[in-house]
A and B are shown apart, each in its own frame.
Chain A
Amino acid sequence: MAVAEQTTSVAAVGSTSAWRRYGQNALIILDSRVGTIGLAIVLFWFFLALLSMVWTPYPPNASQFEQNLWPNATNWLGTDHLGRDLLSRLMTGAQVILIKTRLPGGIAIPGGVAIWGVFGSLVLGVAMGLTAGYYGGWTDQIIMQILDALIAFPRIILYLVVIAALGQGDWVVIIAITVTGAPGVARLARSLALDIKNRDYVLAAQTRGESAFYIMFREILPNARGPLLVDAMLRIGYAIFAIATLGFLGIGLPPPDPDWGNMVNEARSYIFNNPYAVLWPSLAIATLVIGLNLFADGLNEETSRYQR
């Protein structure tokens, strides 16, 4: 299997069809049972989020039922303290995390808050980490000192400070996730760059007289993408966790769209009457994070197998 995979990818390099090569590489996740389960969970939530864009059982923000109903035939998961359908709210809650980001001015762009946040930390972290690892010396020292200072902060305090600074909004949460995630990515990228920069192909590129920028992003980065990708998957999990936590503290994603963490927080006061309103969003957060973790585990298993 491993040999066959290797030959196809070598052949694909020749045929310049980079996308097909990526597609085949992506399929290796199905070789891992854990990874497949994880992927299924994640896709399940993606599907619900997409579905909720066009259809939910009831409008997610309309108080049209009795309050705090337990699960029944009309409202499959029950209703919350304002008489809103929990299933609709749960589905819509997945949107903001996974597939849309609301920007100021009423525009929504594709890609959820968690995904953009991780993307941001990936870009920032990779840029800093590669620079530090490739140049070494003083550059490395300064960048790593700054990163160490950021890492020394407990995350929650960074979140609180960023949100206190910029107010509420989807983009603020994205920035918070970016700032807290970037140091970790940068450390990983740096260690990979330190390893890769002594390989022959990098030396060859240096001899050719390529610019540092070209070497960092065209020679080192593509060869470091495996571990970075696995890390990014884990980070999306952390990001969802963080969004939920912020929502719970009441400083996360703003209304009107429902937010899972905030749903738990609001329903907490009515837990005597209706434990389900707390239970469903909690389960949603937990399953999605678990799914991403399993997916990352599977990805890690498979990519490291091929690297060996």
Chain B
Amino acid sequence: MLLVSLLLFFMVEYGRGDVTIKILGIESTQAQRDSYRNQLGLNQSPLVRYFTWLAGNDWWLKDRVGRPLVTVYNPQTKEPEWWVRGNAGELLRWQMDGGDLFELVRQEDGSSIQRPAPDDIWTTDANGIPEFWGLNNNNSAVRWIRGEGATIQVRTKAGFREEGDSPVEFIPLSKGLIRGDPGESLRTGRPVSASLPGRIQKTGVLAMLAFIVVMPLALLFGVIAGINEGRWTDRIISITGLALTATPEFVTGVVLILVFGIWLKWLPAVSVFFSDQSILELLSSWDSAKILVLPVITLTAVELGYVARMTRTSMVEVMNSSYVRTAIIKGMPYSRVVLRHAVRNALIAPITVIMLHVNWLVGGIVIVEVVFGYPGLGTYIYDSAIFGDFNAIEAAAMVTVAIAVITRIIGDVAYVLLNPRIRYA
């Protein structure tokens, strides 16, 4: 996992190009880009940024600021914020106004009151310039220079605004991925951790439903094809399975939309969620839950063929083995031979492979979600990747990698449980 994270980070790092161009648009000037890059803390070395991303930077910035850094939940934005705990236990941030530094003291309701900063906070650096490391309103640790507010370009909804009284150096604070803080999304300006859980939940439900539909069907078809090897049932199942596997997800999805959504008008063609509708509310009634039907069928179609073919191969092998022949010859009922002797042994391989196949499923989910506009992890990854939103891609990709690793372990365990010949001490 560590290696994966390293690989991922540096691929995205060198791969994304200049993200500020994507955010600010191709029309932005070099000065605007430089200023914005500085505000995002992108001027630090990649290695520092990697460790920040992984393990956070509050534990060393604490020494630089000189006082403890704490995160407080803001009741208004419902997002965590960074504050400095002052000597008297109050929570502080700083703001410069007309060259003078002010302390912002946090109140209970999340707002703050302003008061002049005391003189003794300034320290002198190696060149004799009075400086101070504090926190700004944007959750960054920043360096102020006394009496000299720098000019930066601030991005607003309306465009760019030049703003004086700014710090000269920015380091966005982060707790790091392993402590549950993947940073802020550049695309939405919100913490990734705020949008990711809902996305994962929605995708999880989709994948789970598809899994529940696929597994029994695929295993059933695979077994039926396997015991009828070479006969027409087998041919039909194999060829259909191959056709389904070879058809890309988006084709299946578009065809289903065409048939069920447009011609027959039985089911909704896109998956529209109300703004903060949770997946549980969605599942509570059929009217809202039916938007899930087409995505689930699409995923099912793609997975079905693969798993059924896998099961068939395994079943054929088992049916040709000597112990099955023995069982048939000794006069056991055929159904009993199949159910008791063959199926159990034939399912070992498919179940392991299915678990390894989850990576493929994730790829399928990305496409299916894009086709149906389903607001899950897949569309999140896709949108972030198109935008170059590295914090979001990295966090989402790490989630998928974690899922892949966990399912692989589950696959190994299932293999051991199902196959009595393998016993790890």
Chain B nearest Cβ from A293, distance in angstroms: 6
- Quick one: which of A160, A279, A294 contacts B382, CB cutoff 8 A? A160
In the complex, which residue of chain B has the Cβ closest to the Cβ of A267? Answer: B254
Chain A residues with CB under 8 Å of B15's CB are 161-162, 164-166
Contact sample, A vs B, 13 pairs, CB 8 Å cutoff = A149-B7, A152-B405, A155-B360, A160-B393, A164-B385, A249-B370, A261-B248, A265-B250, A268-B254, A279-B255, A285-B248, A290-B242, A293-B246
Stretch from A57-65, A122-130, A195-203, A240-248 forming part of the interface with B: A240-248
Count of B interface residues, CB-CB < 8 Å: 43
**Known pairs A278-B254, A286-B251, A290-B246; A160 contacts B385 (CB<8 A):** yes
How many chain A residues have a CB neighbour from B under 8 Å? 40
CA distance A261 to B251 in the complex (A): 9
Contact (Cβ within 8 A) B367 A245: yes
B12 located at the interface, meaning its Cβ lies under 8 Å from any Cβ of chain A in the complex: yes
The residues of B with any CB-CB pair to A shorter than 8 Å are 1, 3-4, 7-8, 11-12, 14-17, 242-243, 245-251, 254-255, 257-258, 262, 359-360, 362-363, 366-367, 370, 381-382, 385-386, 388, 393, 397, 400-401, 404-405
Residues of B within 8 A of A294 (CB): 242
Bound form: Cα–Cα A272–B382 in Å: 26
Q: Collect the chain A residues with CB atoms within 8 Å of residue B366's CB.
A: 154, 156
Q: How far is the CB of A38 from chain B (nearest CB, A)?
A: 10
Please name 12 further chain A to chain B contacts, defined as beta carbons within 8 Å, in addition to the given A165-B14, A286-B248, sorted by A numbering. Answer: A152-B1, A154-B397, A157-B385, A160-B385, A161-B15, A244-B248, A244-B250, A249-B367, A278-B251, A279-B255, A282-B247, A293-B245
B362 touches A156 (CB 8 A): yes
Within 8 A of B (CB), among A117-151: 145-146, 149-151
Is A249 a contact partner of B382 (Cβ separation < 8 A)? Answer: yes
> Roughly how many angstroms separate A265 CA and B16 CA in the complex, as a whole number?
25
A162 and B249 CA atoms in complex are apart in Å by 21
In angstroms, Cα B252 to Cα A244, docked, is: 13
Inter-chain contact A154/B359, CB cutoff 8 Å: yes
Q: Does A205 contact B (CB under 8 A)?
A: no
B259 to chain A, nearest CB (A): 10
Is the C-beta of A78 less than 8 angstroms from some C-beta in chain B?
Answer: no
Interface, chain A (partner B; CB < 8 A): 145-146, 149-157, 160-162, 164-166, 237, 241, 244-245, 248-249, 251, 261, 264-265, 268, 271-272, 275, 278-279, 282, 285-286, 289-290, 293-294
Main secondary structure of the interface of B (DSSP, over half): helix
A242, B1: Cα distance in complex, Å? 25
Chain A residues with Cβ below 8 Å from B16 are 164-165
A282 to B1 CA separation, bound complex (whole angstroms): 37
Q: Provide the residues of chain A in CB contact with B7, threshold 8 Å.
A: 146, 149-150
A-B pairs, 7 with minimum CB distance:
A165-B15, A289-B246, A160-B385, A282-B251, A154-B362, A156-B363, A290-B246
Establish whether residues A278 and B367, one from each chain, have CB atoms under 8 Å apart when the complex forms: no
A164 to B255, CA, bound (A): 29
Cα separation A162 to B247 with both chains bound (whole Å): 24
Which one, B3, B4, B258, B386, contacts A271 given CB within 8 A? B258
- Inter-chain CA distance A264–B14, complex, in Å, is 32
With a cutoff of 8 Å between Cβ atoms, the chain A residues found around residue B247 in the complex are 282, 285-286, 289
Chain A residues near B12: list those with CB within 8 A: 161, 164
Q: How far is the CB of B40 from chain A (nearest CB, A)?
A: 17
Judge whether B258 and A275 touch: CB under 8 Å. Answer: yes
Q: Is the CB of A152 within 8 A of B14?
A: no
Q: Whose C-beta in chain B lies nearest to the C-beta of A290?
A: B246
The reply to whether A164 and B400 form a contact with Cβ atoms under 8 Å apart is: no
